[in-house]
Structure 1
Amino acid sequence: MTELDPEDAKLVTLARSARARTRADQGAAVRDGDGRTYVAATVALPSLRLSALQLAVAMAVSSGAPGLEAAVVLGDDPADEAGEAAVRDIAPTAAILRANPDGAVI
């Protein structure tokens, strides 16, 4: 297994923390072009459903992020087509990592 860049490892840790804190299905973290991070967990309300990655991207965009460098989505099933599409909307070449709940990148 390849060792992660320290900044990407930080995203994994943040995503893992968000998921654990909220007991959500997924946690996610993104890093913008200025190095700021945005962390989110899945939202599953009767009137609103957002994946963790969708929410992290929305937080970055609403904060004026100048693009994204990397994203991590973490959970038992880290597949998230809608979240990955949101990342690609603003950062076509950003790295998107998927990780298991234990933080292992897959």
Structure 2
Amino acid sequence: MPESPVPPAGAPAGSTAPAELSAEDAKLVTLARGARSRVGAVEGAAVRDQDGRTYAGASVALPSLTVTALQLAVASAVAAGASRLEAAAVVTEASTLDGAGHAAVRDLAADAPVHVAAPDGTVLGTVVA
């Protein structure tokens, strides 16, 4: 998947401009959109582990607990036994990837692409570092 060296506005270092996603990564965006819309959350996310299994989550904001969608998806993967991630996607109205979710992905994969998409599924960019 070729990626343009031009990052989206406000993107973290290591970001690239939108590129054509593989079918597997496009599925992550679809799962993230579904997780977000199902509960009306601010964000939805999905990850794929080393065995090709996928996990999705939506952002949680309770008085005693706040978890980003990407943190929840990563936590679900780890709870199911994942030891490595191949890719991740976040669907959000924000123009950048949240730091906590990015860190959670990096805990399991230094090089997994994290695709950031708008609520309509348009990929805004990909964080690769």
Report the TM range for the smaller structure's normalisation.
Answer: over 0.9
TM-score, reference length from structure 1: 0.96
* Structure 2 CA distance for aligned equivalents of residues 47 and 102 of structure 1: 30
One-letter identity of the residue aligned with 1:96: V
CA RMSD across the alignment? 1.0
What runs of 5+ residues in structure 2 fail to find an aligned partner? Answer: 1-17, 125-129
TM-score, reference length from structure 2: 0.79
Shift of 1:4: 1.2
Higher helix share: 1
CA contact (8 A) 1:34 1:66 kept: no
- Of 64, 73, 76, 2:93 maps to 76
Count of aligned residue pairs for this structure pair: 106
Shift of 1:79: 2.3
Shift of 1:66: 2.7
* Structure 1 CA distance for aligned equivalents of residues 110 and 21 of structure 2: 21
Q: Which has the larger radius of gyration?
A: 2
Instruction: Calculate percent identity across the aligned residue pairs.
Output: 61
Determine the structure 2 residue equivalent to 1:85: 103
One-letter identity of the residue aligned with 2:98: D
Shift of 1:3: 2.2
Shift of 1:90: 1.1
Shift of 1:62: 1.0
- Of 31, 46, 62, 2:48 maps to 31
Give structure 1 regions of 4+ aligned residues with deviation exceeding 4 angstroms.
none
One-letter identity of the residue aligned with 1:65: A
